[in-house]
Chains A and B, each alone.
Chain A
Amino acid sequence: MLTTLLLLPFAGALAVLLIPANYRVILRLVALITTAVTALQAISVFSAMQPGISGFQLVEQAAWIPSAGFNYHVGVDGLNIGLTLLTSLVAFAAVCISWDIEKQTKLYYLCLLLITGGAMGAFLSLDLFFLYFFNEVALVPTFLMMGIWGRGEQKFYATYQMALYLTLGAMLALVGLAMLYSASGANTLDVVTLSAWLGQHPLSASSQRLLFPLFLFGFGTLVGLWPFHSWAAPGYAAAPPATAMLHAGVLKKVGLYALIRVALPLMPDGVRTWMPVLAVLCLGNILYCGWLALRQRDLALLLGNSSLAHMGFCFLGLASVSVTGITGVVVILVAHGLLAAANYALLGHVVRATGTSSLDKLGGLLRPMPVVGFFVVLAFMAGCGMPGFANFPGELGVLFGAWDRLPLVVIFAAWGGLLIGGVYMLRAIRSLLHGPVRAGLESASDAGSGIALYWRSLPYAVLLVPLIFFGISPDTLVRRIEPAVIPIVKSASASTPPTVDSKTPSLTSISPR
């Protein structure tokens, strides 16, 4: 079942490769059908997975290089089940909004399907070698797409910067993985075997302290951890909408996913040493990037910085090392993925319809484009933590979970999420949609009318409807996630005498004595 899910996008890519480049409609249809079938498969995987049970399900494995311990091993648990669903939905929406691509159509869809397959593989693989490999498979076409179909004068510089940061980040992580491989002595990078092995023979505290930052900053850079964030906003602004959707929505999540999957449970001493550092850095994302978003007069840069601010909540959740907090993080991963994709899809429409993303040149768009405007309001409200969208329960879990350890950080984070987030999102709506219509924009095209309306609205609906569904019923995700998080938190806080997430928490950490 999972192998099918993993191979579908690659099969689609192969098909695209074989179709002549001038059969544009066929190419589009192949991409559309591939991603639609992938999405259906992901949904059936999601429903096939039993909630409330810990451990991997639907596991499939095969030996590959037994001597080196590299094996094909896929499975789902609470951490990646939501992410596979996310990947397939975003991919489908990305194909939908790419209908008008005329330039090098074949290469475009090939890249798009490779990114999808790569991301899917990274999330499904339980062997870290494959996780890393698939992540790289997805990254290369990402840069290609930015270079060829990107926009703006800064396109090449932004691509270059993004490639540099991401490659260096990935290299750090690779060094970390290699050192983990040799230091553990387990002769494998298979998550299951490795955790069992390290449970018996833990790494020495000093090597954990050395290894942990490699993972933290390596994978952290992939997510835009402050101060390694400056690639993100300009990068996404320069990327074509579909690429920004797939990277900001899906691929970026690999970094956080790997941190939770690998760094936390395998290196408790590293966690203890480095989490206080992360607790400070996450405020860099939440406050600093929030304020940056406040400064932006370009919608693309505003959304990029806002997305970084959301990642800050994920880092705060990690730093809390609590079941509530990390469950919240996994919810955010899914929610933010859907939201970021929706944001960039909508941005793409605005740019296509008006020719600019500068807020100074836009205004009053709700009148000419009520349908797109409606989706924009929904997405921006989700972006400032409005309940009813899945981001809210995620951030709530993080704030609650982090309170006992990091009350001060939680206060700042709540300020950033509620106030700073509120201000820049409302300013954006005010400048973009409200007020009198700017001259020249009176007939900016909306999502279309008649049947076209439904077709053009489909990508936004595909992203926002699940976002709202998980917002109303986060339990659908949470009861799948929590059983996977409990053992991770347990191993991450191993050898710490008091439990981390007790039911009756003490207030010793915040009482002023």
Chain B
Amino acid sequence: MELVVTNAVASVGPAYSSRPEDIGWFILALPLFASLAIALFLHRNRTLTLFFSVGGVVAAFLLSWVLFFTFGVTGLKAVPSPFPWFHAGGLNVNLGLAVDGLSTVMLLVVTGVSALVQFYSTAYMRDDRGFARFFASLSFFTFSMLGIVLSDNLVMMFVFWELVGFSSYLLIGFWFEREAAADAAKKAFLTNRLGDFGFLLGIILVWSLTGNVQFDELAAKLKADPNALGVWSSVVGLLIFCGAMGKSAQFPLHVWLPDAMEGPTPVSALIHAATMVAAGVYLLCRAFFLFQATTAWPAALAFLGSISALDIIAVIGGGTALLAALIAIQQNDIKRILAYSTLSQLGYMVMAVGVGGPDAAMYHLTTHAGFKALLFLGAGSVIHACHHEQDIWKMGGLGRKLPVTFRTFVIGTAALAGFPLFTSGFYSKDAILVASVRHGHPILFGLGVLIASMTTFYMVRLVIVAFLGRSRSSSAEHAHESPIQMTWPLVVLAIPSIGLAWLPLGQYLTEHFFGSRVAVEEGGLFGPFNHAPLAATFGTGAIIFGAWAAIATYWNAESDPLPRSLAFWSRVLRNRFYFDEIYEALFIPIQDGLAAVCGWVDRWVMSGLLVRGVHGTTELAGRALRMVQTGNLQTYTFLFVGGVALIILIAL
């Protein structure tokens, strides 16, 4: 079938024919158009702003379904319609769309969550003076993120990668008058840039080794010859991973994500749960074929032997997951708990890719997008109700006052913890645990179980402290349920947190990556217990243990007992292992020190070198040239004509 489609297009030639894959361009253009229209013309009119912004993303969401059913479900191969972008020498870059099983699922996630977040924001941001700016930025962010999803080559991916960095900068720094928000935006952008530095070098290296940046052509090339990347294959893998490390906030570039909570809460739900941070994992999945190349290291790194890039990625992912889960246990700010939880779950997904299960990673990404957006929006509802109080120890008893928020939040918590049988989180987490067992990583499996248990612990802690017991502050005392525009998106998001459990999404993704259902056996509710009882049982056990520990510690607690019992370790966790302080002490002085040296050299050596030289040696020339400052045109013209005379003299 593939051949037929290609021939058909080849015969059509340059003449345009409408094809369903071109819907992708509309999906991409709609939010961009909305954003531009608002920024340039509509910013004074709130109704039109909302109409364009929300309308654009909803239309994109609906069109994404069309693509999903046309190409995702059927497996039909889309033919990209590339526009030339930069063709010079050996570098050939086009703008083209990748429409396949992977991108169509991701499209649904991105547009779906974006649409709900926009609906929610209409109420959350109602009184903000930057209302139009907010929606313009949000639409622009959606555009950039959709660009990442639809890119069919590495350079275009990098383009949108940077644009996502820029639009998240705008959104995190939305309340730019607050010092903390402005600093957080800057930090997020620059930390991401550090990862992009590696990513860009990785792209250049891939191009220089293969002469290509196109995903499908690279994949075909590597399939034909797994040694195509030579001794650089593992280095390429790690460099590309650098990009993912920045966007998906993996250790050691994780520091920006918690600070980014300074942005408005809907932004946190959109970019720090479902989209931007998922981009890193998506990149790893999109470029997974690069990691399947033969493991090889250049001579300088030969000591790494048979350790592959994927192994390193798995360890970094697992490490990040553990680190973040530990920190989350001792955070008191509701958004920060969720932020570290996001870090931890992203680590989980990266680990899944590392153990060779991109399908499991994508599965978890999809389910996580739903329930984490739910949790963030729920947190937003809580914060809104408590007059911008974010400390969970100043809440309490909110369950009765915010019934809808409470119930949906519990569903989200259950899904995040991976409550067996009923929640989507259970199945996707199970897929990761299974992948780590299958591909021979027992230690990472153990780590995964441990983290699952810790996840349950800190989420149950959050629910007990914030929603149960008695109110511990007047703002919690007088809290009211948020308006309907904010609660119905919560209800809608609660549906996939449960419902995705019943859809064969896992099998669908496995088929996409491995072409068959070999890797996953039967689905169904009890599937996990049948085909991989070990993983499912351990996963369930971890949840029960975590929940029990949290209930035992926090039921009716007035304050956190852990700081007393853990003393030193609690302080370390609360201070996030001092990463920010360490970075500040290490890297900033180096960069600023180099700058200071250059500044000194320039001031005392370079500056006016020629001026002083001329003054010292030939005062005459100096005088002649100083006439310029008097604005004496004739003198200068005279000198110039003299020069021309000189050239003619030499010529003749």
Contacts and interface: CB of A to CB of B under 8 A. Distances in A.
Interface of A: 68-69, 129, 133, 136, 140, 143-144, 147-148, 156, 159-161, 163-165, 167-168, 171, 174, 177-178, 181-182, 227-231, 288, 291-292, 294-295, 322-325, 327-328, 364, 366-367, 374, 381, 385-388, 392-393, 396-397, 399-401, 403-404, 410-411, 414-415, 418-420, 422-423, 426-427, 429-430, 433-437, 473-475, 478-479, 481-482, 485, 501-505, 507, 511-513
B609 A227 contact: yes
Contacts of A164: 610-611, 614, 622, 625
B575 to A, nearest CB: 25
A423 B87 contact: no
B173 A434 contact: yes
19 contacts: A68-B648, A143-B628, A159-B628, A178-B646, A230-B607, A295-B599, A323-B88, A324-B89, A387-B158, A388-B163, A392-B159, A418-B197, A434-B176, A436-B177, A437-B177, A475-B86, A479-B84, A507-B209, A511-B231
Nearest to A387: B159
Nearest to B602: A292
A507 B87 CA distance: 22
A303 to B, nearest CB: 16
Contact of A292 (B86, B87, B599, B640): B599
Contact of A478 (B88, B197, B232, B648): B88
Among B186, B629, B650, residue most surrounded by chain A Cβ atoms (within 10 Å)? B629
B87 A230 contact: no
Contacts of B646: 178
A227 B606 contact: yes
A159 B628 CA distance: 8
A298 B10 CA distance: 57
Contacts of B611: 160-161, 164
Interface stretch (B329-337, B410-418, B566-574, B590-598): B590-598
B647 A177 contact: yes
Contacts of B127: none
B609 A230 contact: yes
Contacts of A161: 608, 610-611
A474 B86 CA distance: 6
A418 B86 contact: no
A393 B636 contact: no
Given A140-B640, A227-B609, A397-B91, 7 more contacts: A230-B607, A288-B598, A292-B595, A327-B89, A400-B207, A411-B201, A422-B189
A323 B89 contact: yes
Interface in B202-258: 204-205, 207-209, 211, 230-232
Contact of A294 (B158, B194, B592, B610): B592
Contact of B596 (A295, A381, A430): A295
A327 B166 contact: no
Interface of B: 39, 83-91, 155, 158-160, 162-163, 166, 173, 176-177, 179, 182-183, 185-186, 189-190, 193-194, 196-197, 200-201, 204-205, 207-209, 211, 230-232, 298-300, 591-592, 594-599, 602, 606-611, 614, 622, 625-626, 628-631, 633, 636-637, 640, 643-644, 646-648, 650-652
Contact of B163 (A385, A386, A436): A386
A426 B595 contact: no
Contacts of B209: 507
Contacts of B85: 393, 473-475
A94 B197 CA distance: 36
B265 to A, nearest CB: 20
A394 to B, nearest CB: 9
Contacts of A133: 644
A502 B90 contact: yes
Contacts of B190: 419, 422-423, 426
Given A387-B158, A387-B159, A505-B90, A418 B230 contact: no
A366 to B, nearest CB: 6
Nearest to B615: A164
A159 to B, nearest CB: 5
A160 B155 CA distance: 45
Contact of A160 (B39, B299, B596, B626): B626
Contacts of A436: 177, 179
Contact of A418 (B200, B610, B629, B650): B200
Contact of B155 (A143, A328, A367, A396): A396
B200 A399 contact: yes
A512 B300 contact: yes
Contacts of B592: 294
Contacts of B91: 324, 397, 400-401
Nearest to A168: B610
B631 A512 contact: no
A160 B631 contact: no
Contacts of B182: 430, 434-435
A319 B300 CA distance: 27
A393 B628 contact: no
Which of A160, A164, A174 lies at the interface centre, i.e. has the most chain B CB atoms within 10 A of its CB? A164
Contacts of A513: 299
Contacts of A403: 204-205, 207-208
B217 to A, nearest CB: 13
A337 B342 CA distance: 43
B631 to A, nearest CB: 5
A419 B633 contact: no
A503 B91 CA distance: 8
A89 to B, nearest CB: 20
A423 B191 CA distance: 10
Given A164-B610, A511-B298, A505 B651 contact: no
Nearest to B39: A374
Contacts of A324: 88-91
Nearest to B179: A435
A294 B651 CA distance: 48
A411 B205 CA distance: 11
B86 A423 contact: no
B211 A503 contact: yes
B628 A163 contact: yes
Contacts of B631: 143-144, 147-148
A311 B451 CA distance: 50
Given A182-B650, A230-B607, A399-B200, A475 B208 contact: no
A119 to B, nearest CB: 17
B610 A228 contact: yes
Contact of A171 (B87, B197, B626, B643): B643
Given A364-B177, A411-B201, A482-B87, A147 B628 contact: yes
A433 B176 contact: yes
A74 B648 CA distance: 21
B211 A504 contact: yes
A504 B205 CA distance: 12
Contacts of B591: 294, 420, 423
Contacts of B173: 434
A424 to B, nearest CB: 9
A479 to B, nearest CB: 7
A432 B78 CA distance: 47
B298 A328 contact: no
A323 B625 CA distance: 40
Nearest to B614: A164
A436 B182 CA distance: 10
B190 to A, nearest CB: 6
Contacts of B179: 435-436
A181 B86 contact: no
Contacts of B211: 503-505
A246 to B, nearest CB: 17
Contacts of B158: 387
B641 to A, nearest CB: 10
| Closest 7 pairs (CB-CB, A-B) | A323-B89, A324-B89, A434-B182, A327-B88, A387-B159, A291-B595, A295-B599
B651 A404 contact: no
B186 A430 contact: yes
A381 B144 CA distance: 15
A299 to B, nearest CB: 16
A508 to B, nearest CB: 11
